Structure formats: structure tokens, C-alpha cells
Structure 1
Amino acid sequence: MPTLANGRTADPDEPHRHRDVAESFGTDAERYDRARPRYPDALVRRIVDASPGARVLDVGCGTGIVARQFQDAGCTVLGVEPDARMAELARRRGTDVDVATFEEWEAKGRTFDVVVAGTAWHWVDLAAGAVKAAQVLRPGGLLVPFWNVADLPADLAEAVADAAERVMPDAPFDFRAAVTRSLVEAYQGFLAKAADGMRSVDGAFGEPEQWRYDWEFTYSRDAWLDFVPTQGAFTRLPPDALAEILKAVGTAIDMRGGSVTVPFATLAVAVRRS
């Protein structure tokens, strides 16, 4: 049975400890499912082609966005999702879901060819999650968490920062620094931590690889304003504060002519079960 390497201690600042944020996305599950971007078909195909079979476990499956993409690629998918509201929508749209955090989820003897997590692995303890993945993966199976990461255009980032500083003056972090820097670059540190979590499971995995897919999407004003409230920084805002954020962002997009092209990078850490 895979075990954590000796001497590892948990970082109290790891995102998975912020359960209030992690389980806030179901506040408007329909919007989340509608507005959140899908993942590159090339990534899905690469995972499917590299896996020993078609049985997929989707960790933090949310409303089933990732699950449906793998189902469309011919896979059988089980989701694990801690928010019952998100899980219910995923079920209505054709995905079987167990409601639990991944760390507490019971596999009940089930095994899988692939474990994936779409913009969700940061809500899992990186070492404990790797242990659980190793326990349920068949030999040669893949663990591949991945994230869609957007770098906001400078004018849009400044508009968000200005409004956030007005409505969130007590935010426990520097919001301007967070939205105006390159998030793609910032995520590199987290991907390294995710890889370290995989390495911490004695003898379970090979050496992790990082994959990257660059793409962009042009949003209308309304489409981008639909997306903004699905981000973790805003899911718990009261309606009047969120309205001020959206008004500022909408004005910035109007000044651009009513649309914005957003560059994305889909970043993945892939590792094979020994």
C-alpha cells in the first residue's frame, strides 16, 4: 500500500485547507457549468491515448465539465465532488458522482486507468491525494491534474483590482498583485508542489512531467461577466459588492469595443503508476 515518505509536514497555507472557498462554487452551479471554459481536446486525447484503459476517475468533478469531455472521447467516468449542489447538476447531465472530498472518499474496491482533476487538484492535499490516486490506479495508469489559467489583459486586470480594493478592503492578500501579475508564471510554483506530492509516495509513480497547451478565447461583454462570478475570489461576495466588480469590468470591456480576447494556458502534471 502506498505511504507518504517519512518526515513530510503539511503547509498550513495550502489551498485545500480553505474549505469555505473550495465548496463555494455550488452557489450558482448552473452559471459555473455554463461559463467555465472547457479544456483542449488535444489534452483529453493525449491522456486517453496514453492510458491503459478507458476507466476515468474525475476528482473535484464539479458540474461534470471534464467528465463529459472524457465521456465524449469514449471513456467511462466516475466523479468525486464534495459539493452536493455541483454533484447533482453533474448527475443530471450524465455523470455518476460520489459526494465526498477525495481524501475521505471510499473506493470500495474500484480501480481506474486514469485519475484526472480539472482546475481542482489545489483543493486536495497534494500528498494525501497522490496516495489515494496510487491506491486506485491500475499498474501503468495515469494521474493527470490540470488547470486552465488565464492572464488578464492589463486594462481588465487594473479594472478588477480597482473595484476589488473598494469592495474588499480587508482581503487577506494583495489583490492587485494577484490579478496584475502573470498567473501562468505563478502557477509554475504550484505545479512543482503537485509534482513533489507525487514523488512523496514511496515507489508508487514514475517521474512527473509537465504539459502545456496555449490557446485563447474571445469573450463578449456578457460572456465574460458571466464567467467572473465563478472565480473563487468572488463566489462569496454579497450581491452589491459583486455588482460593483461586474460594473467596473463591464465598463473596461465596453472601452475595448464590447469584447475581450483572453490568453489561456492549460497546465498539467502527468505521472504514471509504477
Structure 2
Amino acid sequence: MVTPPPGRDPHAAPEPHTARHIAESFGVDPERYDRTRPSYPEAMVDRIVAASPGRDVLDVGCGTGTAARQFRAAGCTVLGVEPDSRMAGFARESGIPVEVATFETWDPAGRSYDAVVAGTAWHWVDPVAGAVKAAQSLRPGGRLAPFWHVFQPPAEVSEAFATVYSRLMPDSPFNMQATRPPLEVYQTIFDKVAKGIREAGGFTDPEPWRFDWARTYTRDEWLDQIPTQGPLTQLPPDQVAEVLEAVGSAIDAIGGGFTMPYITIAVTATKAA
């Protein structure tokens, strides 16, 4: 479960699903990840459940179980698939059963589900192979629904992050300078997911579902979340501290906190009967 940073084309070479060292780096601190990463709109969860033929859910890249717990609270039985054993272990502590594997290599073993979901994780899955495996795992009429958060911190906060990160990691593949609106950047992901679903076959034409909401962060809350981001999981502690100091100063300068507008997008399709 990772959100590509705003401003970076998430499908520049190498593509995310080939960058396994990043995809499997988030378990360095699963407790922080679970504590700081935002949950998903209840309206989206309810709509996915209502649009599925039953309540057996497979959560791909379930991470620490954030989305899985929400679907369980909505009355679903949930199985997680997660490549990082540390994240899987954390999810199990909250009662979510998890099998450790990449989704492309995971074996359904004859089991089938009413919905296959993925919270901020499907970009780590090969878009065609993942859709094929989802089709194999879904019952007729079952729903595939990967979803993501789209967000943009205040310009002062983003610029402080980009400046210090570029100085510390001048050769990083992550371009932290925002050159396009976040929704436009993420549209690259959504288009590729839809294309993979169409190429896999066996699904209705994919459609996007949009949910708008917002969350207010204090300085400390946002700084607590930053080390869970993909670029920072690769940095040594002293460099992470430099990033946090720069971003913290920027937040102090705008009043010690901010309200983040979020757009959560689900790209969804139904398995043909």
C-alpha cells in the first residue's frame, strides 16, 4: 500500500510493479504505517459491497489491514494477500487472515470471491496479469475494485519536501517537483489499470467511481506519516530527520497545520456472467 508522490509520473520507467524493492519496503515500521495512513471513505466501501453479489472479499496488497478492517466492519469476510511478511503479521494481529505472496504468484486454490479490492496497492501489480488473476478468483458477477487516494499538500509543504529530498537524493528515480495537477498524474495509473482490465478480458468495461473528502493534519501528524512514503523508506535515519525538519518548518510557517483535500478513485469492473 503506497501512494506515488504528487508530481511524479508513476509509470515512468521502471514501472511500479517491477520495483519490488520499493513495493516491499513499507514493512520497516508497520505500526507507524497503520497509525498514520488514511482510511477509505465509508461511502466507497458501502458502494463496492452493494455492487457485489455477496460479501466474500479478497484484499490484494492488504498491507496492515486498513481496508480489510473496513470491509469486515461492513459485514464482509475478508482474506488478505500481501507480499511483505511484516505487514501481513501486523494485519493478522487485528484478526485479518493473510497469505504472503505477490498477487501474480498467489494460488486461489479453487476458492472464489465476490469482490477483489486493492487499497492504494494495485500499481504494484502487473496490470494485465493482475486482472487475469482477479478474473480467476471472482465469481460470476463479482467486482474488481482497486482504489487510490489522490492528494496534494499545500505548496509550501510540497516545495520544502522536494527541495531537501532533491539535495539528499539527486539521483533518485522519484521526481518530487510537482509539474502537473495530482489528479492528472494519477490518471496515468487509472488509464493503465483500465487498459489491463480490458486486455485481460472477461470484465465489463471499467469505470471510475470518485469520492471527495478532506482531513486536517497537525504538524506532528503529517511528520509522523512522511517516513511511510516510498522515497523515505530508502533513506537512512539522519536524512529522514533532515526531511522532517524542513517540512516541519514549512508547516510551522503556515500556522502549524493544514487541511488536505482528498479524492479517492476506484477503478471498477464486473466479471461477466
Q: TM-score range by the shorter chain?
A: over 0.9
Q: Could you tell me which residue of structure 2 aligns to residue 96 of structure 1? A: 97
- The answer to whether the Cα contact below 8 Å between 1:211 and 1:268 also exists between their aligned partners in 2 is yes
**Worse-matched range after superposition: 54-63 or 227-236:** 227-236
Q: Could you tell me which residue of structure 2 aligns to residue 3 of structure 1? A: none
Q: What amino acid maps onto 1:213 in structure 2?
A: F
Q: Could you tell me which residue of structure 1 aligns to residue 249 of structure 2? A: 251
How far is 1:173 from its partner? 4.3
How far is 1:12 from its partner? 5.9
Q: Secondary structure at the match of 2:233?
A: coil
1:210-230 CA-to-partner distances (Å, cap 9, x unmatched) read 111111110011110011111
- The answer to whether the Cα contact below 8 Å between 2:113 and 2:142 also exists between their aligned partners in 1 is yes
Alignment of 1:51-200 (within 5 A): 51-177=52-178, 181-200=180-199
1:66-99 CA-to-partner distances (Å, cap 9, x unmatched) read 0000000000000000000000000001100000
How far is 1:13 from its partner? 2.8
Alpha-carbon distance in structure 1 between the residues aligned to 2:135 and 2:157: 41
- The answer to whether the Cα contact below 8 Å between 1:198 and 1:208 also exists between their aligned partners in 2 is yes
**Worse-matched range after superposition: 121-130 or 166-175:** 166-175
**Alignment RMSD, CA only?**
1.2
Q: Could you tell me which residue of structure 2 aligns to residue 7 of structure 1? A: none
Name the TM-score, length of structure 1 as normaliser: 0.93
Q: Could you tell me which residue of structure 2 aligns to residue 227 of structure 1? A: 225
Alpha-carbon distance in structure 1 between the residues aligned to 2:120 and 2:174: 21
Q: Which of 259, 262, 265 is residue 264 of structure 1 equivalent to?
A: 262
**Worse-matched range after superposition: 59-68 or 256-265:** 256-265
1:104-127 CA-to-partner distances (Å, cap 9, x unmatched) read 001111100000000000000000
Q: Could you tell me which residue of structure 1 aligns to residue 7 of structure 2? A: none
- The answer to whether the Cα contact below 8 Å between 2:60 and 2:116 also exists between their aligned partners in 1 is yes
How many residue pairs align between the two structures?
A: 261
Q: Secondary structure at the match of 2:29?
A: helix
Q: Could you tell me which residue of structure 2 aligns to residue 6 of structure 1? A: none
The percentage of aligned residue pairs carrying the same residue is 60
